[in-house]
Every structure is written in C-alpha cells, then in structure tokens.
Amino acid sequence: MKIEIKEIFFLLLLITLCNYNVFSQDSRLMGKWVNNEDYSDINYIEFKNDSIAILFQGEKQSPPFLFITDFTKEPVRINMKVEKNGIEAKILGLLHFINSDKMKIEFFHGEFEEQPRAFSLNKNSQSQLYIFNRLK
C-alpha cells in the first residue's frame, strides 16, 4: 500500500484547518449580554451573527463592530474593529466564560504591538474589565 505525498499533504492541511476553527465563531457568544454595573461605559453587548457586535451605553448604540475570536486560546482572544467617517478604531480583548450565562471580558485601549495574553491585574492599565450576564 503506497501513500502518495499529495494525500499526506492534503490530510495535514485538513487537520491544521480544523485545529484553527476557521469555520464559525463559537455559538456560546451569540446573543445579548448585560452588564449590571450602574456606571459602566458599556451597558450591554449584542453579538448578532458570526462577525457583528454592537455596544450599548444606555440608549446609545455604537456603529457595528466586526469581530473575530480565537477559541483555541484560553482566555479567548477577541479583536474588534469599527470604521466611521473614514476613521478606523480597533479594540483588543480577552474573554472567559464563567459559566454558560456569564462571561468576563476585558477590552484593552491604546496601541498594542501584540494581543494581550492574560487578564490585567493592574488597575492603572489601559483596559476595562466587565462581567456580562446573558439576557434570556
């Protein structure tokens, strides 16, 4: 039984693509998430589909953010970007599911060379930490 190099290459490529979860965002993230803090910059987030998120502060809503997640990492990496009037803004973030209806998310502000890999323990950092509950 002779296996050709093309077959081996194809199998390796298939395994690699499956490991990187390129097909879809994780469905656990979809829906509305509410922040119960009284004086928060973000009252809730709605993840509408595989790539759109809208942030809300009271009745005001942000323009649609495009987002991408990496569920192969822990904490999960989430990167968001929005463009309005020719200006692009990017937000790097980390998220962790506390349980199926509660998540911790930290957004990092400013210019970062690399994606943060851990939640910040420094209260003076350029980040904001939120706890969101799923709206049912």
Which CATH number do you get for residue 111? 2.40.128
Domain contains 112: yes
- What are the tens digits of pLDDT across the range 44-96? 999 997 689 999 998 899 999 999 999 999 999 999 999 888 888 889 999 99
Q: Which amino acid is at 21?
A: N
Please tell me the total count of domains within the chain: 1
- What are the tens digits of pLDDT across the range 13-53? 444 444 444 444 568 899 999 998 877 889 999 999 768 99
Question: Could you tell me the sign of the dihedral formed by the alpha carbons of 108, 110, 116, 121, in that order?
Answer: negative
Q: Which domain holds residue 130?
A: 26-134
Q: What is the CA radius of gyration of the chain?
A: 18
Domain contains 2: no
What CA–CA distance (Å, rounded) separates 56 from 107? 15
- Residue 133 CB: number of other CB atoms within 10 A? 16
Above 90 in pLDDT, residue 112? Answer: no
What is the pLDDT at residue 130? 93
Domain contains 7: no
Domain contains 18: no
